[in-house]
Structure 1
Amino acid sequence: MEDAALGWWGVPLAVIAGAIRISTPFLFVSLGECLTEKSGRINLGLEGTLVMGAMSGYGTAYLTGSPWAGVLVAGLAGTAFGLLHALICALPRVNDIAVGIALMLLGTGLAFFLGKPFIQPTAPHLPAISLGFWSEVPQIRAALEVNVLFVIGALLAVAMLWAFRATPWGLIIRMVGDSADAARAMGYDPDRVRMWATMTGGFLAGVGGAFLSLYYPGSWNEGLSSGQGITAVALVIFARWNPIWCFYAALLFGGASALGPALQAVGVTQGYYLFNAAPYLLTLVIMVLASSSRRRLAGAPGELSVTR
Structure 2
Amino acid sequence: MKKSDAEKAALDTLVKWYEGERPSADREPERYVVCAGLAITELFRDTFPLKESDYLTDKNQIKKTGGPSIKSILERFGETREYAREGGRTTRGTRPAAERLVKALNRIEAFADLTLEERHEIMDSLQRWLVDRVREYFNRKKIEVEIALDKSGQQIVANILAAAAAKGVAGAVAQHIVGAKLALRYPHLDIENYSYTTADVQLGRPGDFVVGDTVFHVTVSPMPAVINKCELNLRNNYRVILLVADSRLQAARQMAEMEGIADRIGLYSIEAFVGQNVEEICEFGRGNLARGWKTLLEKYNERVLAVETDRSLLIDIPANLQ
TM-score range, shorter chain: under 0.3
Q: TM-score, length-normalised on structure 2?
A: 0.23
- Decide which structure has the larger Cα Rg and report it: 2
The structure carrying a bigger helix percent of its residues is 1
Structure with higher RCO (Cα < 8 A, 6+ apart):
1
Q: TM-score, length-normalised on structure 1?
A: 0.24
